């Protein structure tokens, strides 16, 4: 249960009635004891939570988990990731997406926002495995106008797919790889077709400073002058958001949200993190994310939640910011809002889609429970999620995945690795210079 003041509530001995993929009622276990049901899940000793939302990832990049370690951002992109991605085939994307969905469902993620290439393959995996997703076909200006057109075509074709579980966005890569004219044209298309925009911007402080030195404006100011802030936009990272950007973001006429993926920032040794408190003060929701597994090494949103709470305490020097309840609010309602589903998922309440996870708190590392929010944020782990439900359909029951065959995916993906990882051609899909 939630309200808009970042307060959340828990109910003891509750029962959730789901019909047609929608939460029909939240009542007591006693009230439904004799009620007939097609399926009844007993969750004694467990907590039901809204499914987690991974607000920014590149799911197929699980195939590159661990291939570019202990490197600065520029070398990570230019020497490894972008050369390797020039080998990507649709089959690699499909298998990577399937493995990623398995990992996310196992970790209690019921929806993810993906920003990648060959996204029709990702959409097909979403359809088949039952998860919910917000998908965008990524593009660079180096692709010419075809990149943008392909992103639009994908967004229009897949919108509402997988029985309504797929929503879509236009997905320019970032202001340092997509020029102003292309961003302005994207904003125009977003307005014309009622589509949101999902992109990377002001990912780190270096990018903000380089943009200021070269163009006299910050990446956020670029979004403003190209009209991107006039439409609904999901900004990945924003750790380079400066004080001068805050009034610009506050004045945005579209719905603006930021996705934070803190593990990667720590790994890249970025000097700043997403300014969650400053964004809170200007009313901008911050959703939790993992980014791709090539930088984050996991798609564990549970971990993003704990890290966000810890890093906020550390960077603000204030143990009262962020509280566990606030962290849960980011993980649920704010994340749902960030991907444009604020009225659809993000809380367990009548009328919401039934995206629900059951978390086992009987383990020694979670007992006793004195403060349930703290137990969930700081003691529980993604492996404590026992059951994952999307749209009323059980995708994992008692830790067993029902829609994905992991050994088969791992086997097939493994055979493709030599071709995928070959960098002898000397090509790369893009140049990092930001």
- Sites of contact with Zn ion (CB under 5 A): 236, 291
Residue with tokens 């202001």: 175
**Based on CB atoms, which residue is closest to Zn ion, 148 or 237?**
237
Q: Greatest CA separation found in the chain?
A: 69
Coil, helix or strand at residue 326:
helix
Query: According to the 3-state scheme, what is the secondary structure of 154-208?
Result: HHHHHCCCCCCCEEECEEECCCCCCCHHHHHHHHHHHHHHCCCEEEEECCCHHHH
How many CB atoms within 10 Å of residue 214? Answer: 11
**Based on CB atoms, which residue is closest to Zn ion, 221 or 291?**
291
CB of 45 to Zn ion, least distance (A): 37
- The answer to whether the beta carbons of residues 246 and 278 sit under 8 Å apart is yes
Beta-strand pair 22-28/14-19: antiparallel
**Based on CB atoms, which residue is closest to Zn ion, 222 or 236?**
236
The CA-to-CA distance between both ends of the chain, in Å, stands at 42
Q: Is the dihedral of CA 57, 62, 63, 69 positive or negative?
A: positive
**Based on CB atoms, which residue is closest to Zn ion, 50 or 292?**
292
Please give the helix or strand (H or E) that residue 364 lies within, else none: none
**Based on CB atoms, which residue is closest to Zn ion, 59 or 129?**
59
Supply the DSSP string of 272-323, one letter for each residue.
----HHHHHHTT--EEE----HHHHS---HHHHHHHHHHHHHHHHT-TTSS-
Tell me how far apart the alpha carbons of residues 282 and 202 are, in angstroms, rounded to a whole number. Answer: 18
**Based on CB atoms, which residue is closest to Zn ion, 199 or 404?**
199
Beta-strand pair 356-360/385-390: antiparallel
Measure CA 159 to chain center: 18
**Based on CB atoms, which residue is closest to Zn ion, 124 or 261?**
261
CB of 5 to Zn ion, least distance (A): 31
Residue with tokens 């039901």: 48
CB of 183 to Zn ion, least distance (A): 17
- The CB-nearest residue to Zn ion is 291
E-strand ranges in 222-267 read 233-237, 256-260
**Based on CB atoms, which residue is closest to Zn ion, 265 or 302?**
265
CB of 190 to Zn ion, least distance (A): 19
**Based on CB atoms, which residue is closest to Zn ion, 182 or 291?**
291
For 122, the token pair is: 């990702």
Residue 341 CB partners (closer than 8 Å, separation 6+): 53, 111, 132, 134, 167
Per this entry, what is the length of the chain?
Answer: 434
**Based on CB atoms, which residue is closest to Zn ion, 61 or 354?**
61
CB of 289 to Zn ion, least distance (A): 8
Tell me how far apart the alpha carbons of residues 20 and 194 are, in angstroms, rounded to a whole number. Answer: 27
CB of 236 to Zn ion, least distance (A): 5
- The answer to whether the beta carbons of residues 355 and 110 sit under 8 Å apart is yes
**Based on CB atoms, which residue is closest to Zn ion, 49 or 236?**
236
């Amino acid at each position: 249960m939630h309200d808009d003041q970042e307060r959340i509530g828990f109910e003891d001995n509750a029962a959730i009635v789901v019909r047609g993929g929608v939460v029909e009622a939240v009542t007591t276990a006693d009230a439904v004891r004799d009620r007939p049901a097609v399926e009844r899940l007993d969750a004694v000793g467990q907590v039901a939570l809204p499914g987690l939302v991974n607000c920014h990832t590149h799911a197929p990049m699980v195939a590159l988990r661990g291939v570019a370690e202990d490197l600065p951002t520029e070398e990570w992109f230019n020497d490894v990731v972008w050369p390797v991605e020039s080998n990507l085939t649709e089959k690699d994307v499909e298998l990577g997406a399937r493995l990623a969905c398995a990992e996310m469902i196992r970790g209690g993620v019921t929806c993810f926002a993906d920003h990648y290439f060959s996204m029709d393959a990702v959409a097909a995996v979403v359809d088949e495995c039952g998860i919910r997703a917000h998908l965008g076909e990524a593009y660079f200006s180096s692709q010419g106008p075809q990149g943008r057109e392909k992103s639009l075509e994908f967004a229009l074709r897949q919108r509402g797919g997988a029985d309504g579980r797929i929503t879509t966005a236009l997905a320019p890569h970032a202001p340092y790889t997509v020029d102003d004219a292309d961003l302005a044209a994207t904003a125009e298309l977003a307005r014309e077709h009622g589509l949101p925009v999902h992109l990377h911007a002001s990912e780190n402080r270096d990018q903000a400073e380089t943009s200021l030195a070269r163009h006299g404006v910050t990446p956020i100011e670029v979004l403003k002058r190209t009209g991107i802030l006039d439409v609904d936009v999901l900004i990945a990272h924003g750790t380079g958001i400066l004080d001068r950007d805050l009034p610009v973001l506050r004045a945005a006429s579209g719905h603006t949200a930021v996705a934070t993926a803190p593990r990667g920032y720590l790994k890249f040794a970025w000097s700043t993190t997403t300014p969650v408190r400053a964004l809170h003060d200007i009313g901008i929701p911050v959703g939790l994310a993992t980014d791709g597994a090539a930088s984050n090494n996991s798609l564990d949103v549970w971990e993003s939640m704990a890290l966000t709470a810890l890093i906020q305490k550390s960077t603000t020097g204030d143990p009262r910011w962020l509280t566990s309840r606030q962290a849960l609010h980011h993980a649920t309602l704010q994340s749902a809002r960030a991907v444009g589903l604020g009225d659809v998922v993000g809380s367990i309440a009548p009328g919401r889609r039934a995206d629900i996870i059951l978390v086992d708190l009987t383990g020694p590392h979670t007992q006793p429970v004195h403060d349930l929010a703290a137990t969930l944020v700081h003691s529980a782990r993604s492996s404590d999620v026992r059951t994952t439900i999307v749209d009323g359909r059980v995708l994992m029951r008692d830790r067993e995945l029902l829609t994905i065959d992991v050994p088969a995916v791992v086997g097939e993906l493994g055979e493709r690795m030599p071709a995928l990882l070959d960098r002898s051609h000397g090509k790369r899909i893009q140049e990092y210079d930001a």
